[in-house]
């Protein structure tokens, strides 16, 4: 994760020249009110009021330049003539105001979607996608209206796992209709790109791809949208955490991942951006032998529960390492669907009950902490 700071922004701005005075905008003291917070950058460019309209292209150019920096989520640049009249303070306020408007609009809710949860992991290969798919199906089996968004744009796996082929259609040329299987609405970059196309994503592209996949899609009415995040705790995860109104996050980890503290990074990232962590799921917790049915405790099973305690975070449940979980997902019919009455489906459904309860808790708390307007 890149933490952008003021110095980095100023360094980039130092290379920008005012087309009228031919001076650097930083060295000429034209940059004011610079604020950098959690990837959101805002500042004002002081201009002579007489030159205002001519400076608009410069403003746009500078905004684009800053937005393209790694770690920048939003860039807001305003032109101001305040300095000429001797007041620098209002320009800072103006920039701050625009910045907060920007942030507010960036996290506007998704219409019709009651809650959004992110499924994250400290690193790849721990079963995050498998867990996301089965959790979504288990929530649905428990009676919820569910969507599943594959935000893993580098290695989208939901089309295969959810057994969906083809491409989403658009009825109005603007909004894509979500794909659907087993009663769950699904959206994935995998539907939109050719299978073997190597994708080279740059920071801003990742941000807009994720936002579009979330916002320019008709999800219909949903109780829960489950978002399968890319593995790790980099920019894409941070973008999701900040640009999307997440209700909470679920961390998937294996016992050895817990031991290696990878899960902790995920947890800390969400805490840093004030997204409630609903809890930890331990995947590949113990081994069910396909031959004899014997259960072996591998990799110090139970580590997640203990670690969750230490981190003051809830433990949502454990899923065994079972070959059926892998084969059924590979075939496009995850275990919750293909063996709905089996023990494994029960594990997922129990976790889904826990998760749904936590979502209700967060929503109820938000409701009570939102100031209400009382008309007497």
54 vs 296 by CB, closer to ligand ADP: 296
Q: Whose CB is nearest to ligand ADP?
A: 127
* Beta-sheet strands, E only, within the chain: 31-37, 40-46, 74-80, 116-120, 146-150, 176-177, 179-181, 184-188, 217-218, 224-228, 248-253, 277-288, 295-296, 315-321
With b for 16 or more beta-carbon neighbours within 10 A and e for fewer, the 240-276 pattern comes to bbbbbebbbbbbbbbbebbeeebbbbbbebbeebebb
Phi-psi bin for 173: left (phi > 0), alpha (psi -120 to 50), beta? left
Choose one: 63-71, 172-180, 236-244, 316-324; the region binding ligand ADP (CB under 6 A): 316-324
User: Using the rule CB under 6 A, is 345 a contact of ligand ADP?
Assistant: no
* Bridging pattern class, strands 248-253 and 224-228: unpaired
Give 94-130 as a DSSP string.
HHHHHHHHHHHHHTPPPTTB--EEEEE-SSTTSSHHH
The distance of closest approach from Cβ of residue 57 to ligand ADP in the complex, given in angstroms and rounded to an integer, is 44
The distance of closest approach from Cβ of residue 122 to ligand ADP in the complex, given in angstroms and rounded to an integer, is 10
The distance of closest approach from Cβ of residue 163 to ligand ADP in the complex, given in angstroms and rounded to an integer, is 14
273 vs 298 by CB, closer to ligand ADP: 298
181 vs 253 by CB, closer to ligand ADP: 253
Choose one: 10-18, 76-84, 89-97, 322-330; the region binding ligand ADP (CB under 6 A): 322-330
Report how far apart, in Å, the C-alpha atoms of 105 and of each of 102, 108, 215, 243 are. 5, 5, 12, 9
Among 130, 233, 239, 247, binds ligand ADP (CB under 6 A): 130
Among 4, 44, 126, 281, binds ligand ADP (CB under 6 A): 126
Under rule CB under 6 A, which residues in 221-250 are in contact with ligand ADP? 231
CA torsion, ordered 334, 207, 269, 356, to nearest 10 deg: -40
**C-beta atoms surrounding 63 within 10 Å:** 18
Choose one: 21-29, 77-85, 120-128, 352-360; the region binding ligand ADP (CB under 6 A): 120-128
User: Using the rule CB under 6 A, is 129 a contact of ligand ADP?
Assistant: yes
The distance of closest approach from Cβ of residue 133 to ligand ADP in the complex, given in angstroms and rounded to an integer, is 8
Among 162, 284, 336, 356, binds ligand ADP (CB under 6 A): 284
Neighbouring residues of 110: CB distance < 8 A, sequence distance ≥ 6: 116, 214, 215, 219, 225, 245
* Bridging pattern class, strands 184-188 and 179-181: antiparallel
Dist CA 154 CA 198 (whole Å): 9
Partners of residue 248 on adjacent β-strands: 117
Among 127, 156, 159, 255, binds ligand ADP (CB under 6 A): 127
Dist CA 112 CA 92 (whole Å): 36
User: Using the rule CB under 6 A, is 322 a contact of ligand ADP?
Assistant: yes
Helix (H, G, I), strand (E, B) or coil at 209: helix
Among 76, 103, 121, 242, binds ligand ADP (CB under 6 A): 121
Partners of residue 176 on adjacent β-strands: 170, 217
33 vs 190 by CB, closer to ligand ADP: 190
Dist CA 65 CA 58 (whole Å): 10
**Count of residues that bind ligand ADP according to CB under 6 A:** 18
Choose one: 169-177, 240-248, 310-318, 320-328; the region binding ligand ADP (CB under 6 A): 320-328
Q: Phi/psi at 112 (nearest 5 deg)? A: 85, -5
30 vs 210 by CB, closer to ligand ADP: 210
291 vs 370 by CB, closer to ligand ADP: 291
Dist CA 363 CA 368 (whole Å): 9
The distance of closest approach from Cβ of residue 234 to ligand ADP in the complex, given in angstroms and rounded to an integer, is 14
User: Using the rule CB under 6 A, is 136 a contact of ligand ADP?
Assistant: no
Among 157, 181, 242, 333, binds ligand ADP (CB under 6 A): 157
User: Using the rule CB under 6 A, is 326 a contact of ligand ADP?
Assistant: yes
Choose one: 41-49, 212-220, 300-308, 319-327; the region binding ligand ADP (CB under 6 A): 319-327
Return residues touching ligand ADP (CB under 6 A): 121, 124-130, 157, 231, 283-284, 319, 321-322, 325-326, 329
């Amino acid at each position: 994760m890149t933490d952008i700071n003021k110095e980095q922004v100023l360094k980039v701005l130092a290379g920008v020249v005012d087309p009228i005075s031919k001076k650097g905008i930083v060295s000429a003291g034209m940059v004011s009110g610079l604020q950098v917070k959690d990837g959101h950058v805002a500042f004002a460019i002081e201009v002579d009021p007489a030159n205002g309209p001519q400076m608009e292209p410069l403003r746009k150019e500078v905004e684009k330049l800053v937005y393209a920096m790694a770690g920048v989520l939003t860039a807001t640049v305003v032109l101001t003539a305040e300095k000429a009249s001797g007041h620098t303070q209002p320009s800072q306020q103006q920039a701050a105001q625009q910045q907060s408007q920007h942030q507010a609009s960036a996290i506007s809710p998704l219409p019709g979607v009651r809650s959004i949860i992110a499924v994250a992991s400290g690193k790849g290969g721990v079963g995050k996608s498998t867990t996301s798919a089965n959790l979504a199906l288990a929530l649905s089996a428990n009676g919820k209206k569910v969507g599943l968004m594959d935000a893993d744009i580098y290695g989208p796996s939901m089309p295969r796992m959810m057994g969906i082929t083809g491409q989403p259609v658009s009825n109005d040329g603007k909004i894509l209709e979500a794909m659907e299987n087993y009663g769950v609405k699904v959206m994935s970059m995998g539907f939109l790109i050719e299978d073997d196309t190597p994708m080279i994503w740059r920071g801003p592209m990742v941000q807009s791809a994720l936002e579009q996949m979330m916002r320019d899609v008709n999800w219909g009415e949903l109780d829960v949208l489950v978002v399968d995040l890319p593995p790790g705790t980099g920019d894409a995860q941070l973008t999701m955490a900040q640009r999307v109104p997440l209700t909470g996050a679920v961390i998937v980890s294996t016992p050895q991942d817990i031991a290696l503290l990878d899960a902790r990074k995920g947890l800390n990232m969400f805490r840093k951006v004030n997204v409630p962590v609903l809890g930890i799921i331990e995947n590949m917790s113990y081994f069910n032998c396909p031959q004899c049915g014997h259960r072996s405790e591998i990799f110090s099973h139970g580590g997640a529960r203990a670690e969750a305690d230490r981190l003051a975070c809830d433990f949502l449940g454990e899923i065994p390492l079972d070959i059926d979980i892998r084969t059924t997902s590979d075939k496009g019919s995850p275990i919750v669907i293909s063996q709905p009455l089996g023990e494994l489906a029960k594990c997922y459904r129990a976790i889904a009950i826990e998760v749904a309860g936590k979502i209700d808790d967060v929503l109820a708390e938000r409701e009570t902490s939102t100031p209400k307007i009382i008309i007497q």
